[in-house]
Amino acid sequence: MNRSRFGDLEVLCRTPVGRAHPTPLLFVHGAYTAAWCWDEYFLSWFAEQGYAAYALSLSGHGKSRGRAYLDSFSIADYVADVAEVAAALPAPPVLVGHSMGGMVVQKFLENHSAPGVVLMSSVPPQGLLGSAFGLAFARPHLLGDLNRLMGGGQPQMETLRDAMFHEAIELDRLQRYYHLCQPESHRAIWDMSLFDLPFLSRMQIPPMLVLGGEYDVLIPPEQVRMTAARYGVKAKILPGLGHGLMMESDWRLAAEPIVHWMKEAGL
């Protein structure tokens, strides 16, 4: 793995041995995490398929700038991070956004172009309020603990498991993820909830793939389907997976459709 600096942004990179496909991939993480979540399985696997694979840590996350003033960052700041890294890559990348990263990618398309976009368990264009209300009724303890994490507190181990995984994840792996997680910007959460939702009329919509997990409790399948319908595509709901599509043991169920779609789209 190459760990690069794009200005003050942390970028993890894995490149193929031999000739790469002309279109690289840029992975954008969700709330409470950083670029590390893509390096568990995805980056090396995509490199093996012949794609240069990059993952950035948004401002205030991982080893990127601004950890001390995380709450000052907005979704617009995160979009600027993606634009900064995308512009520095050898070719315009396909953008892959998970959860909050999916919202960042949608907002990116208002003022920038991309050869293709993959939304994985993405915050829908209607924002977070629908999923928050659903969670409040279905799993009130989970919503409360996520709010505590946003405020800088430490979540319960069970909360991380319930929020991210459908599988019975082994304890040592869960503990490792638990210690890598971090708070999220209040400002960004409010932007995704109400104040900075995507304007479809401003967006240049490229070829798009929309994925979700069958057992996702944070962004359930019906919300994934709503997102796909809004962009005129059909959602692919992945069997047996929860919210953390790229970190479950069956992560290939999420990775393989991306490569298949890219080949079909000529990317």
Q: In which band, very low, low, confident or very high, does the pLDDT at 180 lie, cut at 50, 70 and 90?
A: confident
pLDDT score recorded for residue 193: 84
Query: What is this structure's pTM?
Result: 0.90
Measure CA of the first residue to CA of the last residue in the chain; give whole Å.
23
DSSP summary character for residue 64: S
Half-sphere exposure of 16 (CA within 13 A, CB side): 15
* pLDDT tens per residue, range 198-215: 999 999 899 999 999 999
Residue 114 and residue 93 in contact, taking contact as beta carbons nearer than 8 Å = yes
Nearest to 120 by CA among 205, 232, 237, 35: 237
d(CA 66, CA 225): 35
SS (H, E, C) 235-253: CEEECCCCCCCCCCCCCHH
Q: Can you tell me the mean pLDDT for 108-133?
A: 88
> In terms of pLDDT, which residue wins out, 255 or 135?
255
Give backbone dihedrals phi and psi of 210, rounded to 5 degrees, phi first: -120, 120
pLDDT score recorded for residue 95: 98
In the chain, % of residues over pLDDT 90:
66
pLDDT score recorded for residue 7: 81
pLDDT score recorded for residue 32: 87
Task: Look at residue 226 and give its three-state secondary structure.
Answer: helix
Domains of the chain as residue ranges with CATH? 2-128+183-264 (3.40.50.1820)
* Centroid of chain to Cα 80: 16
Contacts of 219 (CB under 8 A, 6+ apart): 99, 121, 122, 123, 124, 131, 212, 243
Q: How many CB atoms lie within 10 A of CB 77?
A: 18
